[in-house]
């Protein structure tokens, strides 16, 4: 084989890049992953068991340094902290611009493993309530797939990844192939039972999460240290680093090239195919070109789209594979920032043992059976019960032995619900290439324009009031409600900008995640999404990736690629 030439090149090594690598190598292809960031050595980079007293600022973070270098990234306060900020990009090296009057928080992880190291791990199948929503409402374009086509692929990725959860038989939230569920705690059980008594259309289930509750495919069960986003030396949660990349490397057909910043793709206008990837070495700034028969863009939603926008040609002046004009448009995220919490009385002699890296899930009930007047689509809640800990001591009256002994005993049980709401795909939420502002490697950056519209704001109010009402109905006391809608991007569920569809005139990718304009190019990260659902998207990315890999390799065998 010629130098720098492979059967397949994958850009990015996160959740979808890892899956593409596993699928393509296991099907016999020689694969190169181009990863913009560094390698991760779990032995030294994972810090989940590092005691907090070993941190200089006890997780108050090196704020001055971080405010300068990660002023956007650290909005993910629970993960981009004194332990884990190394898994997020430098905002100085990776700038972008918001259009005046809008704001999008773009959270990124550039390293082998990508954001799969720090992701939330919540894993839910979508249903036809999601896949048919656009068509039924006449919004944007129709999804070119339905649940029946996705179902076997969900099962396929779940069997490898390992998803723990409880089967519930809900049509709007299909069950996965589950490993045993994690336990609910006292407050959650009370809330679940109270909810059941008062509502026919609502229920509570344990979070469905890509964390192993038993030994699975050679990976150990969770040991409940509870801080997955700092890494996991026992590989007990799903990340590309913990599972798909090791499987791909086992085939001896995978090469991972770190520090490989992709600048653009080359397009051959005669063959109508991608002919190469232009790469800048992040350390030496040398440029290289790599070639393959097929290409997978899995750089994360906006980075994948950015690469196409930066690959413009005379034929495609507004971005490669953009004959539809939809490239960069229809950016979505889930809106958060609304919910409530309450004290759940009783069980003072009980406490959770261990740190469960998972919460509860209250599935969507709006616009499922009955059509709501005020808004379309719906939302689900995540959250959980816990007992107040020593932190309450910072604002509690008292000093001395009594104060100390009071803090030794936990405070009351508190139940919290936070909504994740569906955002509609608006053509007016978009990204474009910005040649005026370059990143640390001289590559044009993105200008982003994204904001919520009336449907999201109206839904957000309902999220808060329904959370408070349900907590009250289930026996909650001392209820606090909040409604302060999140900034787009903070959900870190950015989707769209290179949507799939049934028509090349209105979409960038076909039903197999294949670019209409370059048939050896596939995009299977969040960029391909046509709508947002209200459930976490990563499991669907995984299923779409495995499905697209199967299609791509079959096409290669038939000499169609």
**Binding of other proteins at residue 465 (CB under 8 A)?**
no
Binding mask 141-160 for other proteins (x = CB under 8 A): --------------------
- Rounded to a whole number of angstroms, the minimum distance from the CB of residue 467 to other proteins is 10
Span near other proteins by CB under 8 A; candidates 88-96, 211-219, 372-380, 536-544: 211-219
- Which listed residue (2, 101, 138, 400) binds other proteins by CB under 8 A? 400
Q: What is the DSSP track for 422-479?
A: -----TTSEEEEEEEEE-TTS-EEEEEE----HHHHHHHHHHHHHHHHHHHHTT-EEE
Report CA-CA distances (Å) from 494 to 237, 310, 538: 22, 20, 11
Span near other proteins by CB under 8 A; candidates 30-38, 167-175, 415-423, 518-526: 415-423
Enumerate residues 242-271 that contact other proteins by CB under 8 A.
none
- Beta carbon nearer to other proteins, 184 or 312: 184
- Which listed residue (414, 499, 519, 547) binds other proteins by CB under 8 A? 414
- Residue spans of alpha helices (H) in 162-310: 186-198, 245-250, 301-309
- Beta carbon nearer to other proteins, 101 or 400: 400
Handedness of CA 283, 286, 287, 291 (dihedral sign): negative
Give which of 114, 356, 80 is closest to 211, Cα–Cα.
356
- Beta carbon nearer to other proteins, 173 or 481: 481
What whole-number distance in Å separates Cα of residue 21 and Cα of residue 254? 7
Radius of gyration of the chain (CA): 23
Report CA-CA distances (Å) from 536 to 103, 114, 136, 159, 261: 22, 17, 22, 18, 28
Contact criterion met (CB below 8 Å) for 448 and 102: yes
Q: What are 171's two structure tokens? A: 């049509």
- Rounded to a whole number of angstroms, the minimum distance from the CB of residue 485 to other proteins is 10
- Which listed residue (151, 201, 289, 351) binds other proteins by CB under 8 A? 351
Enumerate residues 309-338 that contact other proteins by CB under 8 A.
336-337
- Which listed residue (339, 378, 380, 421) binds other proteins by CB under 8 A? 339
- Rounded to a whole number of angstroms, the minimum distance from the CB of residue 389 to other proteins is 8
- Which listed residue (371, 373, 397, 559) binds other proteins by CB under 8 A? 397
**Binding of other proteins at residue 62 (CB under 8 A)?**
yes
Report CA-CA distances (Å) from 169 to 67, 127, 194, 196, 205: 46, 12, 20, 15, 11
Enumerate residues 30-59 that contact other proteins by CB under 8 A.
42-44, 49, 51-54, 56-59
Report CA-CA distances (Å) from 550 to 156, 158, 322, 500: 12, 16, 25, 17
**Binding of other proteins at residue 89 (CB under 8 A)?**
no
Contact criterion met (CB below 8 Å) for 559 and 144: no
- Which listed residue (314, 370, 399, 559) binds other proteins by CB under 8 A? 399
What whole-number distance in Å separates Cα of residue 151 and Cα of residue 126? 9
What whole-number distance in Å separates Cα of residue 177 and Cα of residue 166? 10
Span near other proteins by CB under 8 A; candidates 323-331, 381-389, 442-450, 544-552: 381-389
Enumerate residues 474-533 that contact other proteins by CB under 8 A.
478, 480-482, 484, 486, 490-492
Total of residues contacting other proteins (CB under 8 A):
91
- Beta carbon nearer to other proteins, 404 or 557: 404
Cβ neighbours for 15, distance < 8 A, ≥ 6 positions apart: 114, 115, 116, 119, 239, 240, 525, 538, 541, 542
- Beta carbon nearer to other proteins, 129 or 487: 487
- Beta carbon nearer to other proteins, 52 or 92: 52
């Amino acid at each position: 084989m010629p130098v720098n030439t492979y059967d397949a090149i994958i850009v990015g090594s996160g959740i979808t890049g890892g899956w593409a690598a596993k699928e393509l190598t296991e099907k016999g292809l020689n694969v190169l992953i181009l990863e913009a960031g560094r390698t991760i050595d779990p032995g030294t980079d994972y810090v989940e068991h590092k005691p907090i007293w070993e941190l200089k600022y006890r997780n108050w973070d090196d704020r001055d340094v971080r405010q300068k270098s990660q002023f956007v990234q650290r909005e993910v306060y629970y993960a981009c902290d004194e332990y884990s900020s190394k898994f997020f990009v430098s905002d100085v090296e990776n700038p972008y611009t918001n259009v005046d009057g809008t704001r999008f928080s773009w959270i990124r992880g550039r390293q082998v493993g990508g954001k799969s190291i720090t992701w939330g791990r919540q894993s839910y199948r979508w249903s036809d309530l999601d896949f048919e929503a656009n068509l039924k409402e006449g919004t944007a374009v129709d999804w070119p797939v339905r649940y029946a086509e996705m179902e076997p692929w969900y099962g396929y990725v779940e069997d490898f990844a390992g998803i723990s959860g409880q089967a519930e038989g809900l049509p709007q939230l299909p069950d996965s192939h589950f490993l045993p569920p994690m336990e609910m705690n006292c407050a959650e059980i009370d809330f679940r039972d109270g909810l059941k008594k008062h509502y026919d259309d609502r229920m509570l289930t344990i979070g469905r999460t890509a964390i192993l509750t038993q030994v699975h495919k050679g990976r150990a069960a969770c040991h409940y240290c509870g801080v997955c986003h700092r890494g996991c030396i026992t590989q007990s949660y799903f990340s590309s680093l913990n599972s798909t990349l090791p499987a791909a490397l086992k085939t001896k057909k995978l090469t991972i090239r770190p520090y490989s910043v992709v600048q653009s793709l080359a397009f051959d206008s005669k063959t109508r195919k991608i002919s190469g990837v232009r790469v800048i070495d992040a350390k030496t700034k040398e440029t290289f070109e790599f070639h393959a028969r097929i290409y997978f863009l899995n750089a994360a939603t906006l980075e994948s789209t950015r690469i196409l926008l930066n690959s413009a040609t005379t034929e495609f002046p507004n971005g490669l594979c953009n004959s539809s004009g939809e490239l960069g448009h229809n950016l979505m995220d889930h809106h958060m920032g609304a919910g409530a919490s309450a004290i759940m009385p009783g069980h003072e002699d009980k406490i959770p043992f261990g740190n469960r890296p998972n919460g509860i899930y209250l599935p969507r009930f709006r616009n499922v059976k009955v059509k709501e007047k005020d808004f379309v689509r719906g939302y689900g809640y995540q959250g959980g019960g816990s007992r107040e800990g020593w932190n309450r001591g910072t604002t509690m009256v008292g000093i001395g032995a009594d104060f100390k002994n009071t803090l030794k005993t936990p405070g009351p049980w508190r139940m919290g619900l936070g909504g994740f709401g569906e955002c509609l795909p608006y053509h007016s939420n978009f990204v474009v290439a910005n040649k005026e502002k370059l990143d640390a490697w001289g590559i044009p950056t993105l200008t982003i324009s994204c904001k919520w519209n009336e449907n999201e704001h109206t839904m957000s109010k309902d999220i808060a009031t329904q959370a408070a009402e349900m907590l009250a109905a289930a026996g909650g006391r001392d209820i606090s409600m909040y409604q302060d809608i999140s900034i787009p991007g903070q959900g870190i569920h950015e989707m769209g900008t290179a949507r799939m569809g049934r028509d090349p005139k209105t979409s960038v990718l076909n039903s197999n995640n294949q670019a209409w304009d370059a048939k050896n190019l596939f995009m299977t990260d969040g960029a391909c999404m046509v709508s947002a659902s209200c459930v976490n998207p990563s499991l669907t990315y995984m299923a779409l990736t495995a499905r697209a890999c199967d299609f791509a390799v079959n096409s290669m065998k038939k000499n169609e690629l």
